[in-house]
């Protein structure tokens, strides 16, 4: 069964620094998709970035990038030059590639960016 684990419950960083949020996953599938979503204080949930398991290159999207370490089943989210408005809860999620469209989420990491 697919499982996503985020061990960091809360992180605080200073504005304009770089932060990394950890996520490990479990799957028996050789093909899968990994996602990061952001939930703002208003509750809105926004897709940030995706990594396809068959791609060796780390995905990047604006000031978001991923550290995909397949042998460790790890998909870290890196935010560079953090801004106050990056303060939110960040969820890691996974969809296995075959025979399912179920998307499973981790427990989330709350990021606070301080001025």
Shortest approach of other proteins to residue 52 CB, angstroms? Answer: 7
Give the nearer residue to other proteins in terms of CB position, either 101 or 115.
101
Degrees, nearest 5: CA angle 54-55-57: 155
Q: Token match 């978001």: residue?
A: 64
Which stretches of the chain bind other proteins, using CB under 8 A? 33, 35, 37, 39, 42-47, 50, 52, 89, 91, 93, 95, 100-108
Q: Which is nearer to other proteins, 82 or 90 (CB)?
A: 90
**Shortest distance (Å) from residue 18 CB to other proteins:** 25
| Nearer Cβ to other proteins (86/95) | 95
- Which C-beta is closer to other proteins: that of 14 or that of 46? 46
Which two three-digit tokens encode residue 41?
A: 């204080």
Nearest distance from C-beta of residue 49 to other proteins, angstroms:
10
Minimum distance from CB of 112 to other proteins (Å)?
14
């Amino acid at each position: 069964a697919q499982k996503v684990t985020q061990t960091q419950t809360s992180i605080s960083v200073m504005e304009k620094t770089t932060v990394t949020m950890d996520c490990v996953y479990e799957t028996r599938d050789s093909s899968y998709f990994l996602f990061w979503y952001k939930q703002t204080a208003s509750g809105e949930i926004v897709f940030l970035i995706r990594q396809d398991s068959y791609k060796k290159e780390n995905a990047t999207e604006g000031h978001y990038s991923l550290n995909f370490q397949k042998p460790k089943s790890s998909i870290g989210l890196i935010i560079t030059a953090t801004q106050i408005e990056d303060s939110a809860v960040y969820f890691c999620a996974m969809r296995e590639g075959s025979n399912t469209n179920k998307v499973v989420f981790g427990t989330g990491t709350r990021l606070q960016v301080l001025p």
